[in-house]
Amino acid sequence: MLLEKIKSLAAQAQAENIQTRRHLHAHPELSYQEFETCKYVQAKLKEIGIPYTVIATTGVLGIIEGKNPNKRVIALRADMDALPILEENNIDYKSTKEGVMHACGHDVHTTILLGAAKILWSLRNEFEGTIKLLFQPGEEKNPGGASYMIRDGALQNPTPQGIIGLHVHPGLAYGKLSFREGRVMASADELYVSIKGPGGHAATPHQTVDTILVAAQLITSLKLLFQEIEILKILLYYLSVPYKVDILRM
């Protein structure tokens, strides 16, 4: 039975998958800088025997053809980039890059897709259709690596009838999965606000505009406005970062 074969192969690959995940966790790369991760994924696919191409600079597209490959096409997708976060965990596979960490689980996602790819490749003569493997760069940063992969033809020749993605969720009990068709989880957008006003002397504050106070009031008001919607996340970087908040002539 096919399901039992999948379970058996997954169990056999457990140690290898753990090693893969820990390697990726120890070597995180920021959005659109996943050059070593891209090479690692390529090496894994080559080792398995899966044909692949590099796409969108640091993305990888693999192809697994089963029996009657034109019958249907499904794509499996995983993101690969990390976040600009300092890891404080004391573990053997702690990030080796200061200030960069796989804090959103993309090391796990990439590992899962590589593990699934190995199983599907070994069973390719037991299912019909084609499976596209989408290893996506730049999920954490706009405009998103998916847009670049689509631009470069990742969903063409052949075009998938459906795409399956996944995300780890610590809030779920161990051993449980949740499924939903369509959009799942929040999408991060960037909001650029420039607050400008005349500066002046501290002895005459009434002749100036306190842009810091305005920025603080804006953030508070927006939070109150959107608190009943799923989430509003505003990142206020250091005031020295000009494209987030401009403090002029203060």
* 92 classed as catalytic: no
Half-sphere exposure of 233 (CA within 13 A, CB side): 7
Exactly one of 87, 107, 139, 140 is catalytic; which is it? 139
Exactly one of 29, 81, 87, 140 is catalytic; which is it? 81
Measure the CA–CA gap between 71 and 51, rounded to whole angstroms.
Answer: 20
User: Is the Cβ–Cβ distance between 198 and 208 less than 8 Å?
Assistant: yes
User: CA dist 30 to 7, 66, 141, Å?
Assistant: 33, 34, 9
Q: 166-200 burial string, b = 16+ CB within 10 Å, else e? A: beeeeeeeeeeeeeeeeeeeeeeeeeeeebeeeee
* 139 classed as catalytic: yes
> From the CB of residue 8, how many other CB atoms can be counted at a distance below 10 Å?
11
DSSP state of 124: G
Catalytic residues: 81, 139
